[in-house]
Amino acid sequence: MRLVFLIPDLRQGRWAGTRARLTRFGFGRRFGSAPGMWANEVFGGVLNIMRQCRLVRSLGAEAVLATETGTDTYGRFGIGSLEYVAWSRRRPDDFCVIPDLYSSLANDVRGRVAVFLQHPLLVRANFDHLRPEVQLWVCSPLMAQRSRTILGGVEPTFVPPIVDPAVFPYIDQQQRRRGQLMASPRKNARDFIRATYDRYRHEGGRYWELDPVERLPFCEYAEFCRTPQALLPATDVEGLALPPLEAMAAGIVVAGKNAGGASFYMRDRETALVANSVGEAAAALREIEAPDLRQRLSETAYASVREFFPDAAPRRFWEGFLGSE
């Protein structure tokens, strides 16, 4: 059995932005009724699928990434060392994993298929989810509930997300750059970040210096994560949110939004400070000025997210999956 993980081709260029956004939410069309399988940025769900594929290959199973072109269009924006095939060249006996972005394509797969639901706005009843060959995979309890609500009759399977400690090694707070606060103004988070930081400064906060990070290639982003002491997550809607998970693995203290509960690993005052309003987030930034609190949160968060290292829960999932086939 070969596992085929479908992802979009990565396109960059003058006209990619507008068209890719339309494609992402299912409006783009090319070649008749077929969805255009490309995007102009690397989404967290794509990186998670890449990591799942790499883990399966490390266990000795045959696994490939599939794109429309059949080539690696990600380069330094991806994680590397993976095999690509054209989606059109899949075989009848392949087990196909399709992201929610392309869930309608599940009807075109003759054999077994899993639709990987990773974003709450992309869970759609546009395929026959009751067909015996179809599985529903989710990455968080929030996505499991979303799946049950929209795609009833099939219990979803939780597939543990993966964070790689070799890419995000733990670095103690005392070895990090004093006062560096990272934040990513993605998914309309810019206003929340600015309002929170302005409030923090207005209320007397002087320790943190905001250092926004956006659209870095994956390898450069991982390198960037070696120095900040704290992360301010700021998005409202996520299916999982990898940046806080990666930050916890690296020893970065997390204080901010938990995306409506999607970031289930953010347990308030245990692994992070959950702060879903500007006032709460500004207060949280002042609170984590205390080095003892930062150290405690950093150590507790690291101990918790080790469950999502490749050799922990993800490996157990895939060994069970492959052993049942």
CATH of the domain at 243: 3.40.50.2000
- Residue 187 and residue 231 in one domain: yes
In order of 3, 12, 46, 84, 241, the CA distances from 73 in angstroms are 20, 10, 13, 10, 23
- Residue 16 and residue 151 in one domain: yes
For residue 168, being part of any structural domain is answered with no
pLDDT score of 35: 52
Return the CA Rg of the chain. Answer: 20
pLDDT score of 76: 86
- Residue 242 and residue 97 in one domain: no
Distance of CA 264 to the CA centre of its chain: 13
For residue 151, being part of any structural domain is answered with yes
Is 193 in a helix, a strand, or coil? helix
pLDDT score of 80: 82
- Residue 145 and residue 217 in one domain: no
- Residue 215 and residue 118 in one domain: no
CA atoms within 13 A on the CB side of 92: 1
For residue 320, being part of any structural domain is answered with yes
- Residue 144 and residue 190 in one domain: no
Handedness of CA 294, 295, 297, 302 (dihedral sign): positive
- CATH classification at residue 94: 3.40.50
Cα–Cα distance measured from residue 26 to residue 77, given in angstroms and rounded to the nearest whole number: 23
- Residue 150 and residue 256 in one domain: no
Which tokens sit at 254? Answer: 């997390």
For residue 226, being part of any structural domain is answered with yes
Is 235 in a helix, a strand, or coil? coil
C-alpha closest to that of 255 among 278, 229, 281: 281
Q: Say if CB 154 and CB 134 are below 8 A apart.
A: yes
Token look-up 């797969």 returns 109
Token look-up 């939780």 returns 158
Cα–Cα distance measured from residue 189 to residue 192, given in angstroms and rounded to the nearest whole number: 5
Cα–Cα distance measured from residue 168 to residue 243, given in angstroms and rounded to the nearest whole number: 11
C-alpha closest to that of 227 among 173, 308, 152: 173
- Residue 12 and residue 79 in one domain: yes
For the chain, residues with pLDDT lower than 50 are: 14-34
Strand blocks (E) in the chain:
2-6, 9-10, 38-39, 62-67, 84-86, 95-99, 113-117, 134-138, 157-158, 180-183, 209-212, 230-231, 253-256, 273-274
- Residue 288 and residue 186 in one domain: yes
- Residue 41 and residue 186 in one domain: no
For residue 64, being part of any structural domain is answered with yes
Q: ∠314-168-53 over CA atoms, to 5°?
A: 35
For residue 85, being part of any structural domain is answered with yes
Residue 260's CB is within 10 A of a number of other CB atoms, namely 13
For residue 166, being part of any structural domain is answered with no
Question: Which structural domain range is residue 41 located in?
Answer: 2-161+310-324
Contacts with 288 (C-beta within 8 Å, 6 or more apart), sequence order: 230, 253, 255, 273, 294, 297
Q: pLDDT tens digits for 194-225?
A: 999 999 999 999 999 999 998 888 889 999 99
Cα–Cα distance measured from residue 41 to residue 9, given in angstroms and rounded to the nearest whole number: 10
**Domain tally, the chain:** 2
For residue 167, being part of any structural domain is answered with no
- Residue 184 and residue 149 in one domain: no
- Residue 197 and residue 225 in one domain: yes
Cα–Cα distance measured from residue 318 to residue 111, given in angstroms and rounded to the nearest whole number: 19
